Structure 1
Amino acid sequence: MGADAPGGRAPAEKASGSREIEGWFAVDRDLRVVEWDEGAESLLGISRAEALGQACYQVVGGLDERGRPVCGPNCPVHRALRLGLPATSSPLVVRTRDGGLLRVTCQLFALPDPPGGTLGRLRPAAHRSSEVIHDLAVTSALSSQVPAASFQKSVDQALNFLLRVTGAEAGEVWVVEPGGRSVVFVSHQGQFHPAFTQMTRFAPGEGFPGVTLLARQPVCTDRLPEQPYVLRSRLRQSGLQSYVSVPLIGASGKIVGTIGVSFLERQVNFGRVLRLLGWVSSSLGLKVDATLAEFRESARDQFNRVVFGGEPDLRRALEWLLVEMVQLAGADGGELYLVGEGLVARHGLAEALAAPVEPAVKELLQPALPVPVGLPRSWQTRVSAGGAWCWIPLLANEGLMGVVLLYYGGRKQFPPEGMFGALEHFAAAVTESLCLLRPWLTRRGSGVGLARLPARTLVSPEGSGTLVLAGTSGGHPNGGNGRASARLEVRCLGPFELVIDGKLITPAMVSRKKAVTLLKILLAYNGRPQPKEALIELLWPGADPETKASQFHVLVHELRTLIEPGGRDQRWTYVCNDGDRYYFNIQSGAFIDAREFARLCEQGRWAEARGDWEQAMAAYQQAVELYRGDYFEDEPYADWCWHERERLREMCVDALVRLAEMCARTANWEEAIRYLRRALELDPVREDLHSKLMYALWATGRRAEAVRQYQTCARILSEKLGLSPLPETQELLQKIQASPYPDGSDSRP
């Protein structure tokens, strides 16, 4: 679409007064036209009587710059609305009644339920095709400079270029936070700097950057102040009317950030702006991805060198981390806190100066707390006498490990804009290394109370600085094979099972079934303490907590009788409580298959990032073997586990796809086919999985099976989503039908 460069001869513009006309139409849930105004009649030469009742994609018949169909049952513009966006748009080339071609921008607005449907607007493009060629030429020149320039220079160059060629008043770039939890501000160019920097972090679905991250699609509007997801009040009051944002895509196909521009005018050529943003984002996304990966790898290497530089010393390594982050951020000093440890390092601060840590954060960091229980938002700032503080979370796969608090003296200047994302990625890389080294450092006694930190299973052999995979440990202080050594094994993936001292316990063997349900709920909250009243509501929806309190305590007693090794003075190992708040102690040494599965998937991604394909494949294979079925599959209607179930299923599909891709690299197509078939069992509506399987079957010469796979894909998409396969999938089918093998030969390569 807009991000494609024109190929061959560009379609001719319709030279008429139609440029001043706007056409409006409305469609129902089935994309059938229910309204077609005079402007639409005039633009396309199609009368209202002809349009009503017809599918909008048949009436409009939009093409891209290369003449390929865009409009269809699986319209990409409508897809964005299905994701929850209030409005979206796309540049199109449409045929008029007199045979001419006209460039338009098609904007769609979601209508509220009931009755639902979509309101559409067709606006003629404001520029001739020669401008497209000019834009492509200048964008190509910029793209050639991006790989060689520094990260910040690349971002600033891209934004300044877009402001110059689009006439936008302002532009901004954001990068995805470690783990994809949110987007972090990187740069702003142009006017209204205070408005754009009012907030420096958005969760998915918040603000234009967060909506772009969630939708994975371009986002645009010409009614900026009216959009409910605009959370920056200064931006809403700035007078800016239009905004266009597109995702930045990295080398692996994942979103690594967003780039957007904003205008004071509503009359914006959205088609051209989207096209330019698409071209610029291609090279910039690769630059962002490569820079952050380099930054993370460098941080890990430096941290490991400090740890192993002589006698391993974690405290020295943590002090190094704090000094590095203070210097990177241009701060005057700082403090480093670990969850469950409190303050472990200070640098550059007067003795009397202390960070104004909020009570909620202090509760997280106090030594009495046994597990991480929250994930505070990064970059919260507090002003104190003579200066100001901001802080950065130390995040790992298990959650919050600690925070670094940075102090800025009287000048009250916070980190340079471009350092926000880099600092978080630096901190996350070091935190992951800390978790990986934890079992080995604990055995050597060189940690600072590391027993309360989450364990990982990468350990270093004695006398070696090389990390190796240590079996399938699930986070156990003694390292080694956690599954074999754990007294309690909990199987949450597939049918729920407990193994206590080697004996299998099924739910049918427990007299009070709600005791097992209580255990599942506590496991689903992953160590986060839950109030007794909230747990009672989940166990007995709508019941009075006071009347159910005694029954709740009976369940807790029965559960502890079942799984606890025997508590003295109420020092419980697994089912713990802090007053009336209960949690499962995930640091107890119990083997939990869901946590081990997530850890192995994460380990596979880390190995891939290092280019260690053998270790990545080993980790992914162990992960998918653990996945016996969906998370708590015997609780299909429970809301408390639905989100985690979806997350883990997506992780399994991703691991299977990565295994298939690694098999494809070595032409091991049979294994690739096996992994892809299993991925489709978990997510049958993923069209990209069908396409990959079609190609793998084709590569083995099984063309008939590949064609049947296409037919299966088309049937499932039609039945489940009311869609037809994408043009790319249809094109793959044509290639399969035309040639026995992908390389065009008549024999298997």
Structure 2
Amino acid sequence: MKPLARLRLDPWGRAKVLEADPSLGLEGSDLPCALLVQGQDPFGRPLCARCPVQRELKRGAYRASTPLLLKGKRLRCQGYREDGGFLIEFYPEKAESPDLLLELSRFTQHLLRHPEAFPEALETFLGTLRKALGMEAAELFLADPEGHHLILTAYEGLHRKAFLEKPWFQLGEGYPGIVALKREPLYTHALQQDARYLRQKVKQLGYQTYISYPLELPQGLIGVLNLASRDPGAKHEEALDTLSRIGPLFASTLYTLLTRLGEAGLMALEQHLHRGEVSQARHNLLKELKRFSKATGVRVATRGGERLELGLVPTCAMRDCPAWRGEVVGFKNGLPDCPEAEGRSRICFPLWARGEVVAVGTLFHAHPPKPPTGPAAPVLWLARLATPLLFIPLPEEPPELEVYALGGFRVCYRGQELSPKSFGRTGAFRLLKFLLANKERALYADELCETFFPHLPPDKARQELYTLVYHLRKTLPGIVEREGAYYRLHLPEKRFLDFERFEELMRKADLEEGLSAFKTLRQALELYKGPLFGDDPYGEWAEAERAYLQERALSGLLRLGDLAEALGYKEVAKEAYARALRLEPFLEEARARLLALRG
């Protein structure tokens, strides 16, 4: 149906009338939409000044609508995100159903630009589809990348809790599993008598019509879309005809998005894997899983017994976790129960590579998502390309020791991240920092005593120093050598120190020109995430090395900006100068160049 009026709004809400029925009196241009429309809510109160459509769109929704009164006419104001602004359309309040292909096209465009909005956008689209087909509930089950399970990813409609009774199906189990196995639609108008339908709470609420439709592409099954109604006379023919038209495009949209998630997860690790920084690559994967799933904590456990954690993570024995057998399990979310779980909601999922489970991931949520299983399938797709590279032993062994000291301080020994508690004494952890800051020097024992125990008598200070060295050697065997009255740091040959690698790349860039220097500088400056030992900013013992590395980073950023300008990469140059100013706000050379580029 053609709208009565169409307006295009810029990000600040100023409206341009594209077309409008003369009876609506929408005249003027470059006016705030609220001033141009001056609509009212159904009770006659001003509505546009507190426009709910713009509010929802600015929060990230791709579509929003509200009823309003305009010049005595009952209308529906409907908005979409579009090209940095918004498209607003006005329809009669009881207009025909929207064009679902057009809705799906807008949904697709929005997700390709904003993949992080996947859960909210998917629920909004399911709501539009449900209402257009006269149904009371719509749900989407996505298949995991291995094609073993179907997991409830989005739900929109009435009686949510009843439909969450069982949010996980194996192939061949229940309506979604049967449809996934046979790849054919399935429907019924007598749900309560159908033994194939397994959610008893839905039957008890009187639902009669249920339609299950496979979303399939040549690559395989992506998921299953379900519609439900308590009306036994609901027309399944119309629904199936609509789904046959939009299904291929919907399946393609989902597959494209899920594949792009996997590629994004892989790209976040690429540079680290190229440099042999396996621990940092794994850490980045956890960050991506946490960010996308909006979890408060993430854990990944490997076959070798390693545990990688990020955020707030409760303890878990994981002695007999079904996820190792390929199941998706959980706690307080309708998934099969995790035998070790207690406390907060969680989802445990297998990470596959070459046909076997090589690691188990766990998501923790302080406030469970809606539905609680929503993040499970997307994070499996996000991790699927990265998992074989991170959790299958590579032909070449990773570094024995990995140290990340630029911007913070992290230590990994033989693939296991060490915390201050791993060293037995906090002082041993700090001693390691001091030795790393002076890794080329032999340090006199009395110098170390003066640094760490300035207020103790010499004999007592020396005894305390021996204790710290003992704990340090116990955690990192062979890391400290003693030569008479001196101590020296002894680093293994297979090692990665981010500040050492940063300096190597900066020296390499000093000898290069043009594009070659540009690439090397970018690689070096990716390592510089902040001052040396940024978690210990008052450590005066590191001040000289810290200042030297920051000066190297500042000069590198200025040269990178200069090279980027010469090569025509103006946005890269702007970012380089802006980053230099974040490191040193009074660096006038960077400020002048940035202002010149911005015009």
- TM-score (normalizing by structure 2): 0.45
Structure of higher CA gyration radius: 2
- TM-score (normalizing by structure 1): 0.37
Could you say which structure has the higher strand fraction?
Answer: 2
